[in-house]
Chain A
Amino acid sequence: MMSHAAYVIASYLVAALTVAGLVLWVVGDGRARRRELKALEAAGIRRRSAQTAGGDDK
């Protein structure tokens, strides 16, 4: 039988790990996407809206 404090500590640990996991996932995902966008831009690929202000729509 665990002591009551052990249940409390376990709960806060799970909470800390879950929140940390979420934050790391969101930050990591954001960094990876930003890197991809930079790489595409470096390769000269831009959004149509960014490259044609006047629009060459057909």
Chain B
Amino acid sequence: MSENSMAIRKLGDLANPTRFLALAERVLPWFAALSALFLSVGLWLSFTTEGDYQQGETVRIMYVHVPAAWLSMMCYTVMAVSALGTLVWRHPLADVSARAAAPIGAAFTFLALVTGSLWGKPMWGTWWVWDARLTSVFVLFLMYLGLIALNRAMEDPSRSARVSAVLVLVGFVNIPIIKFSVEWWNTLHQPASVMRLDGPTIDPEFLRPLLVMAIGFTLLFFTLHIAAMRNEVWRRRVTSLRRQAARNAGRETLAP
């Protein structure tokens, strides 16, 4: 490796996480406050707007189910971009970001699956079917769990970073499959009614709480993600400091 790129990496290693910690400290209270605000307004709207003429009260499940499902895919996309950051630019924070996002993504995917099931039972008459949309989201959930397990199995983050980045990118193929599964195959799940080229086909009465909740959930995701990234930076500092302390201790005992 050339002298120059070594210098850049060294600089990045030292400067970026430190700058990130300062930035996180500054933005986290704002993100947390905004998520709380949007989620409270969203919850209030969710329970005060009218029920659907066909679905009745169960339409309210949509206000948690859809944002959770949206986040399950966005989180994976964030991880895929981070994986590119690890492999292409070797950005020191990219792996931190991917690692911190995985448990959050798994939690939101779990939430989408459970609320979907709780919505499916009264509306479709079944908790679960192995159709394209449900199965592909279940696969996404398993991928999150696999990535978490992989990250935990390898102790040295510098070694696990590239392996899990490759795996994240390979798994990204699932995201368009999830998105378009309702159009490509026959499924019980309804096709998209918000993110459509010809605009939302959903009534404004339902769209309003849905959008507010989606913004609230997205803000919550970024709050948690930034906080989890900060934790991961701290965790790595603790590890390297302990290693340094052990090295120093070793040197002292070796020296006469």
Q: Which residues of A contact B (CB under 8 A)?
A: 2, 4-5, 7-8, 10-12, 14-15, 18-19, 21-23, 25-27, 29-30, 33-34, 36-37, 40, 43, 45-49
Of B110, B122, B230, B241, the contact of A7 (CB 8 Å cutoff): B122
- Chain B residues lying within 8 Å of A29, measured Cβ to Cβ, are 228, 231
Residue of A nearest to B121 (CB): A7
- Chain B residues lying within 8 Å of A2, measured Cβ to Cβ, are 121-122
Known: A22-B107, A30-B227, A36-B238. A10 touches B245 (CB 8 A): no
Q: Flag if A7 contacts B238 (CB, 8 Å).
A: no
Q: Which 3 A-B pairs have the closest CB atoms?
A: A33-B234, A15-B64, A11-B115
Contacts beyond the supplied A34-B234, A36-B234: 4 A-B pairs with Cβ under 8 Å: A18-B107, A22-B224, A26-B227, A47-B241
- Chain A residues lying within 8 Å of B121, measured Cβ to Cβ, are 2, 7
**Contact digits for B119-131, partner A, Cβ 8 Å, 1 yes 0 no:** 1011000000000
Interface size classification for chain B? 35 or more
Cα(A44)–Cα(B245), bound, Å: 9
Q: Flag if A4 contacts B58 (CB, 8 Å).
A: yes
Q: Flag if A15 contacts B235 (CB, 8 Å).
A: no
CB of B60 closer than 8 Å to a CB of A: yes
Q: Flag if B231 contacts A33 (CB, 8 Å).
A: yes
- Chain A residues lying within 8 Å of B61, measured Cβ to Cβ, are 7-8, 11
Known: A8-B57, A36-B238, A37-B234. A15 touches B220 (CB 8 A): no
CB of B133 closer than 8 Å to a CB of A: no
CB of B242 closer than 8 Å to a CB of A: yes
- Chain A residues lying within 8 Å of B68, measured Cβ to Cβ, are 15
- Chain A residues lying within 8 Å of B115, measured Cβ to Cβ, are 11, 14-15
Chain A nearest CB, measured from B29 CB (Å): 13
Q: Flag if B234 contacts A40 (CB, 8 Å).
A: no
| B56, B68, B115, B248: most-surrounded residue (chain A CB, <10 A) | B115
Q: Flag if B245 contacts A18 (CB, 8 Å).
A: no
**Contact digits for B216-241, partner A, Cβ 8 Å, 1 yes 0 no:** 00001000100110110011011011
